[in-house]
Amino acid sequence: MSLKTHHAAGFLLAIALIAGGCSVLQPGDPACPPVDPGGDCFAPSNAAFAAHALTSASAWPQLDGLPIVAGNVLEAFDEAANQPTWIVSLLVEERVVAASRFLPHGTEVRLAEVVLYEPARLKFPTVGPGQRLVLFHAAKGCGDPIRADCLFINYGWRIDPPSN
């Protein structure tokens, strides 16, 4: 399968989330049934984020059979949606092969998107004390393959310094 097909599959996954009848951007929506692997609503916790990120990795057949482990949960801010977001990197032998992003859904959270990195990344954002990871909409997209200054297909990232 080509990388363009992977991006198309990711786009279709995002469409499935939106078409599933449950907005990931609006709190207070009715209960959301799962619309993809790992896409059901759940109470936020580090263990739950990791479990759902690992389940979401099954959206990419290229990862089948690989010894995937979940990285740390990164709390971030989604500027486009003006709300918090959580990101979990998925690693194989210390290389980041994919990432899952979660958004609030009322008092719970749910999967927003999963991205496959080809080639795998050696580095992923790290957030220091008082800093904040911010995702912003990349006006021109993030390329094919996804550039290092992007974490998801349409989202760039930056680290905001501590506020005084």
For residue 141, is it within any domain? no
Q: Which domain holds residue 99?
A: 3-73+84-129
Q: What are phi and psi of 3, to 5 degrees?
A: -60, -35
Can you tell me the mean pLDDT for 8-32?
37
Q: Could you tell me if 44 and 108 are in contact, meaning their C-beta atoms sit under 8 angstroms apart?
A: yes
Residue 10's SS3 state is helix
Residue-level pLDDT at 164: 63
For residue 142, is it within any domain? no
pTM, whole model, 2 decimals?
Answer: 0.77
Residue 144: band (very low, low, confident or very high) from pLDDT cuts 50, 70, 90:
confident
Per-residue pLDDT tens digits for 18-27: 333 333 333 3
For residue 53, is it within any domain? yes
Can you tell me the mean pLDDT for 79-95?
95
Report the DSSP pairing between strands 132-137 and 69-78: parallel
Residue-level pLDDT at 139: 82
For residue 140, is it within any domain? no
For residue 96, is it within any domain? yes
Residue 82: band (very low, low, confident or very high) from pLDDT cuts 50, 70, 90:
very high
For residue 34, is it within any domain? yes
Provide the terminal-to-terminal Cα distance of the chain, rounded to the nearest Å. 49
For residue 78, is it within any domain? no
Q: What are phi and psi of 98, to 5 degrees?
A: -160, 170
For residue 92, is it within any domain? yes
Residue 85: band (very low, low, confident or very high) from pLDDT cuts 50, 70, 90:
very high
How many domains does the chain contain in total? 1
